[in-house]
Structure 1
Amino acid sequence: MAAASCLLTEDQFLCSICLSVFTDPVTTPCGHNFCKNCITEHWDINVPCLCPVCKEVFYTRPELRVNTLISEMAAQLRHEVQQKTNSSSSELQRATSEDVCCDICTGTKLKALKSCLVCLSSYCETHLEPHLTVTGLKKHQLISPVENLQGRICMKHDKPLELFCKTDQTCVCMLCMVLDHRTHDVVPLKKEYEEKNAELEKTESEIQQMIQRRRLKIQELKHSVNQSNKDADREIAEGVQVFTALRESVDRGLAEFTEMIKDKQRPTKKQAEGLIIELEQEILDLMKRSNELEQLSCSEDHLQFLQSFLSLKDAPPTKDWTDVSVRPPSYEGTVVTAVVELEKKLRKDIKNVFKVELKRVQQYAVDVTLDPETANPWLILSGDGKQVTFGDVNKNLQDSSSRFSYYASVLGKQSFTTGRFYYEVQVKGKSKWDLGVARESVNRKGQITLNPLNGYWTVSLRNGNEFKALADPCVRLSLKSKPEKMGVFVDYEEGLVSFYDVDAATLIYSFTGCSFTEKLYPFFNPCNNDGGKNSDPLVICPVQNHSELVH
């Protein structure tokens, strides 16, 4: 074993993650070796699993087993290193090519313990003794051994660099201060060292905070991916439930539907993975900078500290990740879209499909009540805020910016700025009405044109049987039956407003691709009585199908 280990260098037994001799070494499928604990912790924070050396991607986490041969060789190497360390600890340390040598030693140069900034020499333990015992030499400034002590002498005046010019940001000697920098802000090196060291500590703290924020952002992105996976799985399951009832004629449609959902999910996952890789790279950069700053903060050499500090002054990454996020796509309406495409072949079964869809959106039911502060003075609202009808008397209410002054309209008290919501309104017995949602900033005074450009997403009934979607331009709706109860569903992020005939379980119309940027309110317009033909109220109804929802 010793012979085998001699054929390899010590570096070949170092884990590329912890940079120490292997402990329980394992081999990845790509052939690289790591400590078992190191690669396990590395993969715990990386999705998918990547080899830290060659960056090969493993979409399924490989099973790791200890490499017995490498483990035995690493143990032998640790034993040999320990023996060398023990045998050399009792010997007088000789200077190596990387050490600072004693300037006084003749023959074999010993390792210097200190350098004197007054004598401009470095001393081993023996030759350092006069500086520790002789009264005159005790006053000399000793520092950790450094090379090139001549670099600490002013080249112009041949005096020690003992001061720092804040104006020119450079180290100077006493004569420099008197002759060349007399009007400048000059302070002792130690004072500038202390100030810069304090600034360094602050920078280190800020970097640690940046690292923490990026780690939290990684967790947030991973959570978004997990939620997106759950949404995709739920949507696929619901699609399977719908298409199972139509299996004989819809097998091909089911496969296309499932693939469509997966295609919609892939960009979200890919985007999150890209952001995670970018964040991890920033963390590595910040950790590298943190290590450099930590090493510098331990320096007792004022000059070396300040010179190195200036080279590390570049700002760390400043990209603001606060608003970066991955929003899982919405899948509402995809089942309906797929079924509509098959409508010609599946007319007999289409109603069952819409029943499933309606039950699905009904799970987002919210409690809506009417807001009397917005109601036109001709309107009469019930005490529970659930019914509105056109009255015979203008109540001459005090006008306000929130009240509709011309059209017989009223808004719901509840507003929505995110997510999905659904409510139902009874329209039975009425010959005309308008229903939908409106944004907060809509015009409520004078004549109003109901369309999305003006902030209204509504459908209407006129003359008892003329149904329209009040888009721009209006869309005439051909319904097989007159609805007695309307359902209104909104997906804020997806920009979707859909209207349902609840009893027939059919989709009447959908506004798609909407851009919502402010609060949305339920909108109601019972219209005038029309000589008693339209005297029935609009009634906000409780959603009855909660116990039958498909999950």
Structure 2
Amino acid sequence: MASGSSIKNMREIATCPICMNLMTHPMSIRCGHSFCQSCIMVFSKMLSQRQAGMKMFNCPLCRAPCSIQSLRNNRELKNVIEVIKMDQEMLCEDHGEKLHLFCEDEGQLICWRCERSEHQGHATVLVEDVLQGYKEKLQKAVANLNQLQEECMNQMMFVTMQKTDWRKEINIKRQEIKSDFRNLRNFLHEEEKSYIWKLEKEEEQMLERMRSSETSLEQKSNELKSHILELEAKCQGSVQTILQDVKDTLVRSSAVKLEDPVNFSLEIQTMCNVSELYFDVKKTLRRYQVNVTLDPSTAHPDLLLSEDQRQVILVSTKENLEASPRRFTPFPCVLGCEGFTSGRYYFEVGVGEGTDWDLGVCLENVQRGTDMNLNPEFGFWTIRLQKENDYVALTSPTFTYLNEKLLVVGVFLDYEAGLVCFYNMTTGSHILTFPKASFSDTLLPFFQLYPHSPLSLPPPDE
């Protein structure tokens, strides 16, 4: 008969590093380590799923790369396990005596010598008297965990269905909003995008909550599977396997609970009443109107500014102005005093019956010398009147031609959205929106004048 220490050493060799029990159907992989067949198959399957279906996995002990095809039955180890089971059956590791008693107080198998020493005074019973009772308790625990696992899977399916329904509702609402906004003018089109952004934000926030719930349920499912594998392996083991630490096992399995399913509300919070938005464009734009005045320190010497700095004309006699790096010198240009770094802004420019002008916005650090180029690539977003009725937008690389008679031009800026829009404020109609830009510096109102084309900036209250 093998000694207690030799049985202990053999048991360590034959213990599966994954489930920490005697191996069942021991399998060896390429690196030489062995595991239970079920343990290594579950382990490799989990890794291959995480790695997008790859058939390779790393050894749980040495991290050496292995494949499913490298698994081999370890018959020698299987024989050793059988010897352990036969030699160790009902033997105490400390005394070498048969483990024919069960200590109710400690929940351990003991021999008669253990009963008289460290277990003296404890409640002890014969193994055969308690075996069936504990086996039934283990089987009941397995049944309970299987029921929880089934409920968990049902909850996962429910969340998946909610995700699908939520996406359908979001898509329906998105199409409704897009359909309603399709007939609005360009400014109201930007309102549409704002609502769509809010809707998608709401969608993502709800989906994130659902994904979090799904992840939690998946973790709980894996935990339940682990407990089930442990209990099933215990039920299929020897008497020692079943009864060793059985009380702790039952306590841990009974402690596993499944929280009530999260009932997500599929009611969309982002609502859009398009009829309320479809009103006078002038009224809408003037919600963002700012008081713009002209900056004398940037004005070309040929420009004459009014005392209130709201009107400017081109004159033939140059003024003796103080030299400034901010001043335009080759071309008759001037900037507004007000800089824009965030938010939405709107201002109006009276162009009257002028025959030539440029107006819009530009970056504060634009070139102001002979190499000045009035298109977005160089920091200018402007429109131009040339040859009396020839309106163009100074887009790059080509000009965009306009077909409206302008007396008052509205300039709208949405800094965060990267939009510069122009409106005919006589009719309240949209003229042009420049392609979306990405602003990173201060923007200023920009004006360039020519003979017989004065410009004015009416106050916001007019």
- Judge same fold: TM > 0.5, yes or no: no
Q: Which is bigger in relative contact order (C-alpha 8 A, separation at least 6)?
A: 2
Q: Highest Rg: 1 or 2? A: 2
* TMscore range, shorter length: 0.3 to 0.5
TM-score by length of 1: 0.38
